[in-house]
Every structure is written in C-alpha cells, then in structure tokens.
Amino acid sequence: MESLRDIRQNIKAIKSTQQIMQTMKMISSARIRKAQQAMDNARPFATKMLEMVADLKQEVLAMPLPQDEKESWASRFLLNKTADPHKIGLVVITGDKGLAGSFNAVVLRAAVAFLKKNQDKEVFVFCIGKKGRDFISRFRKKNIQIVYSSVGIFPKVNYAHAELLGEAILKEYFERHLSCVTLIYNDFKSMGVQRLVEVNMLPFSALPAVQAKKDNTEFLFDPGVKEIFNILVPRLMKANMYRILLESQAANLAATMNAMDAASKNAGELVESLGVKLNKVRQAGITNEILDIVNGAEALNN
C-alpha cells in the first residue's frame, strides 16, 4: 500500500500538471478569437478570386496556341494534359506541437494512406508544421522527397508564409511537370469539430464550390484576358493558401483547447480519487494506531 507521503506527492504533481493544462486552454481560447476573425476576413477575398478565375476560364482555354507550344501556361494550370503522370505533389499541413488530441494524427494517417496508394509514383512533399515534417522525413523511400518545409509559423500565420508556400508549389508544379498536387489538412468547422480535407489543388480542372456569375455584359480587358489571367493565378494560389493556413490554425487551436479542457477535467477527477484514497489510508493508519494502543493497554492489565 502506498504511504501518505507518496499519495500527497502524486496529488501535488497532478495539480501542477492540471494548472499547466488550464493555462494552455486559456491561451488557446484567447488566440482562437483572433484566428477566427482572420479566417473570416480571408474567406471573401479567396472566394472572389476563385470566381474571377472561373469567369475567365473558358476565354483563356479558347485562345489559340503558338505553333511551338503543345499546351499553354494557363492550360497547364487548368487542365495539365502534358504533365508526367508518374510525378505528383503532396501538401501536408499539421501543427508544430502536440497536446491537440487527434489533430495531427488524423492528417498523418491520411498522408500515409496517400503515400501507400501512390507508392509507384514519385512524390514531392510540401510540409507545413513540425509534426508533419518530422514524420515524413522518417520515410527512407527514394520516391518520397521533401521539397519545401516551414515550421514555427503557428499560431502567428501571416500572408508572407502563404506567399512563400504558394510560390514554391507553383514552381515545383511547372518545373517538375507534376501531374497534380494534393492538399491534406484539417478544416475548421466549429469549436468542437475539425474536418479532415483531402483535395486536389492543381490542376484547377474543376473549381470547387464556385460558379462564375455570368451576365450579358461585355467587358474590355486591358492589357488582355491572358495577361490578366497570368496575374490572377499566382494571387489565387497565395490567397487560397493563406485561407487554408488560417483554417488549419483555427482548427489546431480549437483542438488544443478541447484536449486541454478534457485533460484538465480528467486530472480533477484523478485528484478527487486520490483524495479519497488518501483519506482511506489515513483512516486505516489511525485505526491501526488505536488498535495498537488498545492491545498494549490490555497486555499491561493482564
């Protein structure tokens, strides 16, 4: 049986850990408000960019190609018919730290399933978050290569991080002739729900959840439709990556807050059970001492 000293030390250690958990919960709760506001502010701009690209899609694809080109830059972005089918890209967004429940594990399991499914292809991985980078770097397979990584950006994501990531994805996509780029991350739905998302970022063969708003108005483009499209595409990629990073950041903070709240409650229940155990051990000790005194007194009387 444990001694009173051991039980008291356990209670003290658990209470100390509980205070840390409550502090982490409060920090995440304070940060998530700013993260939600930034996420809500980024959504309209990213959606409007998608609408503009969708609106110009048919006009750009209908343009004649130069004689020495098989596929235009815009067509590669939208359809990508001339890419190497054995080369693909994967963007994995995780957190930099643990203590967030199943937030990182869900993304990493999906990444492992993706890599197993495409083990016959050459995969170029873009890692955002320390957990994802450390996990992917353990793979010693020749067909898996980390071409870009960024750690320590959460929970202070800004547009510069999205800009660097978007430029890296477009650069690798065009230079290595990747057939597609898949994104895996946790999307923020509510404070209690984070949804795993696995979606093809490139090519934009179908712009998800966006329909171009057509009307009968004719527009004149200066300097031209193709030139405007070439300007919009990099901005579209960066704006969407910024929105996605903010979504993942908010989901990570929500998962951390929920995990710390549950852990704090479990620690409280454990302290209560140890308190009951402490009282029982103390009562048993007092009872034994009383029995010893009574037995000693009877021995003297006899």
Closest by CA position to 274, among listed 12, 69, 68: 12
Q: What is the pLDDT of residue 9?
A: 85
In a domain? residue 155: yes
Answer whether residue 12 shows pLDDT above 80: yes
**Do 235 and 166 touch, CB atoms closer than 8 A?**
no
Which string of DSSP letters, residue by residue, matches 163-175? HHHHHHHHHHHHH
CATH of the domain at 206: 3.40.1380.10
In a domain? residue 279: no
- pLDDT-based confidence at residue 113 (cuts at 50, 70, 90): very high
What would the pLDDT profile of 230-281 be if each residue is shown by its tens digit?
777 788 888 888 888 988 888 888 888 888 888 888 888 888 888 888 888 8
In a domain? residue 8: no
Range of the structural domain that residue 121 is part of: 23-63+71-213+220-260
Tokens of 142: 């020749």
In a domain? residue 242: yes
Q: Are strands 181-190 and 87-93 parallel, antiparallel or unpaired?
A: parallel
Distance (Å, rounded) from C-alpha 179 to C-alpha 55? Answer: 24
Looking at residues 226-232, what average pLDDT do you find? 74
In this predicted model, which residue has the larger pLDDT, 61 or 105? 105
In this predicted model, which residue has the larger pLDDT, 115 or 213? 115
Quick one: residue 231, left, alpha or beta (phi over 0 = left, psi -120 to 50 = alpha)? alpha
Distance (Å, rounded) from C-alpha 134 to C-alpha 151? Answer: 10
**Number of separate domains in the chain:** 1
In a domain? residue 9: no
- pLDDT-based confidence at residue 209 (cuts at 50, 70, 90): very low
In a domain? residue 250: yes
In a domain? residue 11: no
Percent over 70 (pLDDT), the chain: 85
In a domain? residue 6: no
Tokens of 40: 């809500």
What would the pLDDT profile of 248-260 be if each residue is shown by its tens digit?
888 888 888 888 8
